[in-house]
Amino acid sequence: MISTPSSAQGRTILIADPDAEAVRRIGPLLRDRGFQIHAASDGSQALQLTLLRHPDLVLIDEACGLIEPSAFVRILRSNPRTEAIPVLLTGRNPAPALLSDVEGSLRKPYRQDELLGRIDQLLRGARGAAPDPESELRGRLTHLKLPDLLQAFAINRRTCRLIVRGASASGEVDVVEGRIYDARMSGIVGLKAVYRLLVQEEGSFEVHAGRADVADRFGLSLDRLLLDALHHSDELARVTERLPGRSERLELAVEGGALAGSAAQIAARLRQGSGTVAELLDRCESVDLEAAQALDALLRDGAVRRASGPAAATEAPLLDPSELHALRQRILRSRPSSRVLKVLVAFTDEAGFDRAIAHLARLPGFGRSADPGELGTFATIDLGEEVVLDLVGIRLEAGLRPLWAPLAAGALGVTSLDTGPGFGELAEVLGASGVPLRLAAPDPVAALRELLGAALV
């Protein structure tokens, strides 16, 4: 009988392996033992997931492409946010030169008990190597609810930073002497972030050392904040019942009169093109309840309606049928195992990023994936003939510069929404790698057409 590793509780493992059968075999094995699992089929996806999800351990196979394991490990070690993540290299013949850069290796085929034992060993080592204040407490939200954990902090007047990785929201909460002072998610701060994080019932949490000099954004006792969050959740559930589904697209029906607050923000967003209910709630500065109430009122007044098409496509396809056929043939010759292409979209300003998404959403086959935060796949475009274009967002920040060239590996090119200092640095980095760069502002669709056209030359 294979025992459950004692290090599994609340831990996340990223499996990077192009062998889908290996992932299907390993994933359930680890989930059954309490681990949360993310999977990637190549080094580029693995890097994105590592930066977005910050796993406790990366299991990467020597056969991973786009970004090879050696480059993947080198990038992780150069980034302060990922340098301490242990890496377990797998393969039929792991390269000896790489073994000194990783924490462990396993030669395929390996036994289940070998895998579990090595994972347990590495996670115990990672936990032991990061004592207070880096890893004071970890757990799963199914075992300990956040309100209960925060009540314990209040009793002990604890100062800490609480990291939450929930099923539908992830972020950080600053606790000072037992009170919540601030909270943030990707692009969302304050009460909106607090209310979203406190209702997470699945996922994991970590408690790290905090800072006492954090500004008190709310000025409320913990009991008052928890009661307000409970009331907000109950009322939001009632209003949400009247709204279309979160993935349904809405559009402006008529231009209303003078609007203010969340209603004005929703109308401004929809003037750029249709948007899903989830996108509209995300982009309102107010808490979700106020945004949902404003959207409900706009729908009842007839100012907003369901979009007439699934993506409200108004742009012509990126490629005509003959160009698409030629591109597909070229892909089959150069990469027969994959018909997924990649383009990076670089940005600094979230408002400009939103406008670009609204413009791209008019393309046939466009589908929104997620809010990429600092980087990640935010949308796909089905070009037809089983050819798919992945759009990967990357924020032009100095701390992410080491990742620009590796993420661009294997991409058709990079299109930038900004012409500031970050654009010049990006051009400098990509110039050495030979990856094409196009300026997307003010027309990201035209930039995509240029990149696809260049791929056909």
Structure tokens at 40: 């990637």
For 372-381, give one letter per residue: b (16+ CB within 10 A) or e.
Answer: bebbbbbbbb
- The pLDDT assigned to 17 comes to 92
Q: State the pLDDT confidence band at 203, using cuts at 50, 70 and 90.
A: confident
Name, of 192-196, 319-323, 367-371, the range with top average pLDDT.
192-196
Q: State the pLDDT confidence band at 416, using cuts at 50, 70 and 90.
A: confident
Q: State the pLDDT confidence band at 437, using cuts at 50, 70 and 90.
A: confident
Handedness of CA 304, 305, 311, 316 (dihedral sign): negative
d(CA 31, CA 390): 28
Query: Cα angle vertex 214, ends 208, 219, to 5°?
Result: 115
Given a contact cutoff of 8 angstroms between Cβ atoms, the answer to whether 183 and 174 are in contact is yes
In the chain, % of residues over pLDDT 90 = 16
Q: State the pLDDT confidence band at 129, using cuts at 50, 70 and 90.
A: very low
d(CA 300, CA 291): 14
> Is the entire prediction scored with pTM above 0.85?
no
- The pLDDT assigned to 239 comes to 93
- The pLDDT assigned to 130 comes to 38
- The pLDDT assigned to 256 comes to 57
pLDDT above 80: residue 107: yes
What mean pLDDT comes out for the span 335-360? 74
pLDDT above 60: residue 5: no
Q: Shortest CA distance to 359 belongs to which of 381, 375, 337?
A: 381
Q: Which CATH number fits domain 321-456: 1.20.1280, 2.60.40, 1.10.10, 3.40.50?
A: 3.40.50
- The pLDDT assigned to 336 comes to 53
Q: For 177-191, 262-276, 363-377, which range has the lowest pLDDT when averaged over its residues?
A: 363-377
Helices (H), 335-443: 350-360, 401-408, 421-433
- The pLDDT assigned to 3 comes to 46
What mean pLDDT comes out for the span 272-277? 77
Q: State the pLDDT confidence band at 396, using cuts at 50, 70 and 90.
A: confident
Q: State the pLDDT confidence band at 7, using cuts at 50, 70 and 90.
A: low
Q: Shortest CA distance to 214 belongs to which of 251, 254, 182?
A: 182
Where does 12-129 sit in CATH, by number? Answer: 3.40.50.2300
Q: Give the domain ranges of the chain.
A: 12-129, 137-238, 243-306, 321-456
d(CA 135, CA 126): 10
| CB neighbour class for 435 (10 Å; exposed up to 12, middle 13-18, buried from 19) | buried
Could you identify the residue written with the tokens 């309840």? 289
- The pLDDT assigned to 228 comes to 94
In the chain, % of residues over pLDDT 70 = 84
Q: What is the mean pLDDT of the chain?
A: 80
pLDDT above 80: residue 99: no
Q: State the pLDDT confidence band at 98, using cuts at 50, 70 and 90.
A: low
pLDDT above 60: residue 456: yes
d(CA 360, CA 349): 17
Instruction: Please write the tens of the pLDDT for every residue from 284-326.
Output: 889 999 999 999 999 988 888 887 654 445 678 888 888 888 8
What mean pLDDT comes out for the span 39-68? 84
Instruction: Please write the tens of the pLDDT for every residue from 118-128.
Output: 888 888 765 43
Instruction: Please write the tens of the pLDDT for every residue from 149-182.
Output: 899 889 888 899 898 877 677 788 999 999 999 9
pLDDT above 90: residue 253: no
Instruction: Please write the tens of the pLDDT for every residue from 16-35.
Output: 998 888 888 888 888 888 88
Structure tokens at 429: 């980095």
- Topology alike, domains 12-129 and 321-456: yes
